[in-house]
Amino acid sequence: MTTGGAKAISLKALVDKENNRVIFAESDVDFTDVLFSFLTMPMGTIIRLISNHNQPPTVAVGCMNNLYESIKNLDMQCFRTEACKTMLLYPRNDAAPQNKRLKLLIDDGELPRYFLCTTDCTLSGHKLLSLYPNAVCECGRLMDRTMELSEKTVQKLVFDARDRGVFVKGLTQFIISDELQVKPSSREASLSIMSKLGFMDCSAIEEYNIDIGVNEVLTLLKCSLVSKKPLIETLLKQTSAPKFGKEDFDQNIYVKSKVEEPKSNVDGKIHVKLMVSKSKKMSSISKGSLTHLYNSVQELDAEKYLKSNERKEMLISPKLAPDFSYGNHPLGIEEGLHPTYRATECFNGFHFVVKLTSDGEIPSGFTSSKILTVKDPKSHFKEATRGGFVTGPTMFTVTDNLIITPMSQVSSLSLLNKLKVPFSDIEERVVHVGSQEALHLLVASFVSESALTNAFLREPNPRQSR
């Protein structure tokens, strides 16, 4: 895994020796940028990175680990195209161009690749470009001609080394509390944290100089999702991060989800049929420290501390990478845009040469230029509508902790037997999934191991009803 030419980032931390806890860390632009980049990363990337990270603590992020493993285990025939499975397991980040400039790079995803059809079809036919292999052009041929962006375009993406800072302005100093509250460094901010922790004097305080590398950043990423004290567990090597499901959550609730045909939707909502155990209790919800990081960015003055309002928006309202949305997406998350790709052609004295550019310019000596349309990797041959990732009309069984398998009555009955749920304790309910329900399910799958229960059956919080 690359580290961008840097082995480590140096931090200063103020530590309470008696209680072995981090009071706060002091950081410059490099570490703060890495920390803020967590907010841009797709969940599939986070799960892949922390699952492959062998350093403790070992944690599960709600039901997301199960969801990710389910996608890995599903047969390719369950997906609309081969690219669909790759997109879910290795999602692309709309902020990737910015994150490439981080001093420590933790995302080990592959760089984009580019595929064209034949020269004639590219320049005068359907003019399509695919960012995934094995795509079929509208002419019916395989888009198997591998291309690279021209050197001129790559050179334009190189930033001035003196331009420090990706999301925050260079030379800015920040203090970071143990629960990942980030504030501009000041005496008032540091005293506020110490007062909150109940410090009356400095006799038990010691300054630590700590080097942060890729392993530490991945540990911090894991802990930020599930722990209330991620800096302690990362910087002081404590391993007390909780694993959901041991005490806080009840997984022994079997829920089968059935997504019906779109024509059965009511007010744009999806019908979901639940098989519910009536005797099981609702479970509570817990969370880590990432919310504090998000709120910190919201509160920062973009003109003073961030590179631009655009970079702030990238952190607090990240977009899906291009082609990752689909028609009638219940959450309605905005999708980023592809750059303008062009295929340009010139004669080098022996034969015609085609180059791919993305800056809208025609390289010197090239006689023609055609704007290319990026083919939706989720679409089949000559398919007009933008569908989702899974082929239809396939039916799936979804357990309460989001293990997804193709529907099988034998497997369903075996699961009921495994969970020791008697048939007399089972009832069927139908819920409708719109934007609010989809949002509740997303939150529950992120923080709970009983995602369907918490999303659809959990009693409302009395505080929220006042």
> Do 224 and 230 contact (CB within 8 A), yes or no?
yes
Is the pLDDT at 421 greater than 70? The verdict is yes
For range 322-328, the mean pLDDT: 88
pLDDT reported for residue 37: 96
Calculate the CA 344 to chain-centre distance.
35
Beta bridge partners of 14: 24, 207
* C-alpha–C-alpha distance, residues 307 and 369, integer Å: 35
Cα–Cα dist 457/285, whole Å: 13
Check residues 50 and 353 and name the one with the higher pLDDT. Answer: 50
> In whole angstroms, what is the distance from residue 355 CA to residue 332 CA?
36
Answer whether 381's CB lies under 8 Å from 140's CB.
Answer: yes
What's the whole-number mean pLDDT along residues 382-396? 78
pLDDT category at 3 given cuts 50, 70, 90 is: very low
Average pLDDT over residues 157-161: 47
pLDDT digits 0-9 by tens, 436-454: 889 889 988 988 888 998 8
63 pLDDT above the threshold of 50? yes
Strand, helix or coil at 163? coil
Q: Cα separation of 84 and 138, whole Å?
A: 18
Summarize the confidence of residues 40-53 as an average pLDDT.
Answer: 92
Point out the least confidently predicted range of 77-86, 130-139, 340-349, 388-397.
Answer: 340-349
| Res. 351 pLDDT band, cuts 50 70 90 | low
pLDDT over 80 at 133, yes or no: yes
Question: What is the mean pLDDT of the segment spanning 181-191?
Answer: 91
Of 278-292, 358-372, 394-408, which gets the smallest average pLDDT?
A: 278-292
Structure confidence at residue 240 as a pLDDT band (50, 70, 90):
very low
What phi and psi values does residue 352 have, to the nearest 5 degrees?
Answer: -80, 140
pLDDT confidence of 238, banded at 50, 70, 90?
low
| Least reliable range by pLDDT among 99-103, 175-179, 246-250, 348-352 | 246-250
Q: Is the pLDDT of residue 50 over 50?
A: yes
Residue 462 has pLDDT above 60, yes or no: no
Q: What is the pLDDT of residues 248-307, one digit of tens each?
A: 333 333 344 444 334 444 455 676 777 676 665 444 444 678 899 999 999 999 999 999
Q: Of 30, 25, 23, whose CA–CA distance to 8 is shortest?
A: 30
3-class DSSP state of 204: coil
What is the model's pLDDT at position 88? Answer: 96
171-185, 197-211, 267-281: least confident range: 267-281
Does the pLDDT value for residue 395 go beyond 90?
A: no
Whole-prediction pTM: 0.83
Statement: residue 392 has pLDDT above 50: yes
Contacts of 436 (CB under 8 A, 6+ apart): none
Residue 415, pLDDT > 80, answer no
- Say whether pLDDT at 85 is over 50: yes
The owner of tokens 């631009």 is 308
**Residue 339 vs residue 261, higher pLDDT:** 339
Would you say 434 and 330 are in contact if contact means Cβ atoms under 8 Å apart?
yes
pLDDT of amino acid 349: 57
Among residues 270, 267, 244, which one has the least CA distance to residue 456? 270
AA identity, residue 82:
E
Residue length of the chain: 466
Q: What is the mean pLDDT of residues 25-33?
A: 93
